Amino acid sequence: MIKNRFIKQLFSSFLDMTPILAVVLIFQVLIIRQPIPDATQMVFGTLLVVLGLTLFIQGLEQSLFPIGESMAHAFARKGSLFWLLSFAFCLGFSATIAEPTLVVVTKEAAIIASKGNIIEDTVAAKERYALGLHLTIALAVGSAILIGMIRIIRGWPVYYLMIGGFCCVMALTPFAPANILGIAFDSGGFTTSTITVPLVTALGVGLATAIKGRNPVTDGFGLAAFASLMAVIFVLIYGIIW
Amino acid sequence: MDWLNHFLLTLLATCQNMLPIVVVILIFQFLVIRKPLVNFKKILAGFIYLIVGVAFLLEGLDMAMFPLGKLMAAQMTAPEFIGTVDSKTVTWQSYIWVYAFAASIGFAATLAEPALLALALKAQNISGGTINAWSLRIAVAIGLAFGTALGTFRIVTGLELHYVLFTGYAIIIVQTLFIPKLILALAYDSGPVTPSTVTVPLITALGLGLATTVPGRNPLLDGFGLIAFASLFPVIAVLGYVQLAQWLGKDRR
């Protein structure tokens, strides 16, 4: 039974990746027409990605998601405001720390920064830079979820926050150093990925369901978008201060 | 042996990254909710899958997706491929295949994204069928393809990132005024949710690779920004689609 489910999941991870692999292969074979150096390494790496994705999703569905979602519902339904807000912040923060996309991308950003002589070209300096970026983004997501919870409780429309966020980004950009801009804008998209989105959505939808007069769809969603906007704002501020 | 060492280091780093969320869940579970966890064994096994899976994933992304993105960027910008010897005669049109590749990756990535499918079905439900889940996914795919293609064009030409982004913000703000408020939150989420664990590294590597190989570009200043476009333009496309669907729906009545 478990083996069966595992194979099913393996197949579906592979299926999810097929369109991307197909595009890569078509371009490589028909248009670029050049051999891939280290092809065996790439194939092995792709297999690792498929296997890793399978275990990752299986693990999420068996551990983090059921607990996280049931806790989100429990806090949304009764817990005091203080506990709800601290849970929201901690969940946003720690889920972002766990997010594999951010681990890969902040590492790459550190390599680019060291090549551009922003930081020293040592392992320690690069690790510090990557960690600083990762923590900044995690703080941003935590704060965004916290503000998002207050929004649901107060019943503010979602676009107030979004338009406010857009204005913040536009106001901060002129003050931020040029070398952080690209990473800052991109960090919005890095943030909201496989672990964070379902947990955060569960919290939002749970709270919106629990409060009378709130609609789970209009009020429960929008957290991911706001979190990604906050990530941009926080990394811009990080660039200005640092 | 070397590889094993590297893998164990990744595994250790993954454990460190997972630690905060485990601690948060345990603390809140035992101190605030004060109920024992049901199915403890299954959950424990789940965490082990999770950690091993993420470690595999990180190794694989490092080994395949990042090099692949950079390699393809390098091959598609090589003088032999674009057919010019003199780097002065290179114009933005020389890189036409780069834009085509970026657009195709963006489109393909969207269709493969399970998180978006869930979102699209919800949107279909609340709109009472005015919004069609498939059309919504196509709208996101077109937006994303346009975003990544425009992003590579921006890297090639060196256009300032924030000018394009702010124009996008302005368009979203205007669209917001005309959109039924019920659908707004879902539409905003459709952008950031779409690029996922596999596509983000591939697209990022493509951008960084391009900025490294296109003459006159600097990876630090120009290399990022593809993901920003990839999460902005789908929102514009979805808001546009909702407006269109609403308008057509009114017409039919």
Whether residues B102 and B204 share a domain: the answer is yes
Do the chains contact at B198 and A53, CB–CB below 8 Å? Answer: yes
A157 touching B (Cβ < 8 Å):
yes
Q: Please report whether residue B28 resides in a domain.
A: yes
Determine the Cα–Cα distance for residues A99 and B197; give it in Å rounded to an integer.
9
User: Pseudo-torsion of CA A157, A161, A162, A166, nearest 10°?
Assistant: 150
**Going by C-beta distance under 8 Å and a sequence separation of 6 or more, which residues neighbour residue B74?**
B209, B212, B213
Whose tokens are 């551009």? That residue is A116
Domain shared by B102 and B218, yes or no: yes
Residues contacting residue B135 through CB under 8 Å, at least 6 positions apart: B241, B245
The Cα–Cα gap between B230 and B237 comes to 11
pLDDT higher for B231 or A198? Answer: B231
Please indicate, yes or no, if residue B40 is contained in any of the structural domains. Answer: yes
Structural domain harbouring B58: 1-67
Residue A84 sits at the vertex; the CA angle it makes with A79 and A85, to the nearest 5 degrees, is: 155
How many other CB atoms sit within 10 Å of the CB of residue A31?
15
Hey, is B194 helix, strand or coil?
coil
Residues of chain A with Cβ-Cβ distance to B32 below 8 Å are 75, 79, 83, 87
Please state the domain extents for chain A.
1-62, 63-241
**How far off is chain A from B89, nearest CA to CA, in Å?**
21
Work out the burial of residue A131: count CB atoms within 10 Å of its CB; fewer than 13 is exposed, 13-18 middle, 19 or more buried.
middle
**A91 in reach of chain B (CB within 8 A):** yes
User: A70 touching B, CB under 8 A?
Assistant: no
Judged by CB atoms closer than 8 Å, whether chains meet at A64 and B126 is answered as no
How many domains is chain B built from?
Answer: 2
Model confidence at A198, in pLDDT bands (50, 70, 90)?
confident
- Spatial neighbors of B62 by CB under 8 A, at least 6 apart, are A45, A104
Residue of A13, A60, A67, A115 to mutate when probing chain B, most B C-beta within 10 A: A67
In a domain, B72, yes or no: no
Query: pLDDT class for A5, splitting at 50, 70, 90?
Result: confident
Q: Is the pLDDT of residue A159 over 70?
A: yes
Closest-CA residue to B193 (of B147, B250, B144, B252): B144
Residue (of A97, A95, A129, A135) closest to B17 by Cα position: A97
User: Residue A172's closest chain B neighbor by CA?
Assistant: B162
Residues in B touching A19 (Cβ below 8 Å):
108-109, 111-112
Per-residue pLDDT of chain B (253 residues; tens, 9 = 90+): 677 888 898 899 899 899 999 899 888 888 877 777 778 888 889 899 999 999 999 999 888 888 888 888 888 888 777 766 566 666 777 788 889 999 998 898 888 777 788 778 877 877 777 788 888 889 999 999 999 999 999 998 888 888 899 999 999 999 999 888 878 888 888 888 888 788 888 899 999 999 888 888 888 888 898 999 998 999 999 999 988 888 887 765 5
Choose among B150, B17, B200: nearest CA to A98: B17
Three-state DSSP class for residue B25: helix
Structure tokens at B201: 């590294």
Q: Which residue of B has its CA nearest to A190?
A: B200
Pair B33, B85 in one domain: no
Q: Is residue B169 assigned to a domain?
A: yes
Check residue A2 and give its pLDDT. 60
pLDDT score at B87: 61
Q: Report CA Rg, chain B.
A: 22
Chain A residues close to B182, C-beta within 8 Å: 215, 217-218
Whether residues B44 and B125 share a domain: the answer is no
pLDDT digits (tens, 9 = 90+) for A98-154: 988 898 889 888 988 888 777 888 888 889 999 999 999 999 999 999 999 999 888
Contacts with B20 from chain A: Cβ below 8 Å: 93-94, 97-98
Looking at the predicted structure, is the pLDDT value of residue A191 above 60? yes
What's the pLDDT at A3? 67
Neighbours of A34 (CB within 10 A): 15
Nearest to B227 among A83, A112, A190 (CB): A190
pLDDT one-digit tens code per residue, B33-83: 777 777 888 888 989 999 999 999 999 988 888 888 888 888 888 877 776
CA distance A181 to A184: 5
What's the predicted TM-score (pTM) here?
0.89
A9 touches chain B (CB under 8 A): no
B205 and B178 within one domain: yes
Question: What b/e sequence results for A183-217 when a residue is b if at least 16 CB atoms lie within 10 Å of its CB, and e otherwise?
Answer: bbbbbbbbbbbbbbbbbbbbbbbbbbbbbeebebb
Cβ contact, residue pair B75, A118, below 8 Å: no
Start-end of H helices in chain A: 2-26, 39-62, 64-77, 81-98, 100-115, 123-154, 158-172, 178-191, 196-210, 216-220, 223-241
Longest dimension (CA), chain B: 71
Which residue of B53, B184, B224 is in closest CB contact with A52?
B53
In the three-class reduction of DSSP (H, G, I as helix; E, B as strand; rest coil), residue B171 is classed as helix
Q: Is the dihedral of CA A8, B10, A107, A38 positive or negative?
A: negative
Nearest to B43 among A63, A159, A183 (CB): A63
Window 196-215 of A, Cβ < 8 Å to B: 197-198, 215
Last residue of a domain, one of B11, B41, B67: B67
CA distance B247 to chain A (A): 21
Report which secondary-structure segment, H or E, holds B124: helix B114-126
Question: Of B67, B86, B117, which residue is a domain's last?
Answer: B67
Task: Specify whether B143 is located in the same domain as B40.
Answer: no
Assembly ipTM: 0.88
pLDDT for B99 equals 92
Same domain, B62 and B87: no
Please answer whether residues A217 and B119 qualify as being in contact, where contact means their C-beta atoms are separated by less than 8 angstroms: no
**Residues in chain A closer than 8 A to B49 (CB atoms):** 55-56, 58-59, 62-63
Per the CB < 8 A criterion, the answer to whether B32 and A79 are in contact is yes
Claim to verify: residue B84 and residue B56 sit in the same structural domain: no
Q: Which residues of A touch B222 (CB under 8 A)?
A: 182
Asked whether residue B92 is domain-assigned, the answer is yes
> Which among A43, A95, A173 is the nearest to B162, CB-wise?
A173
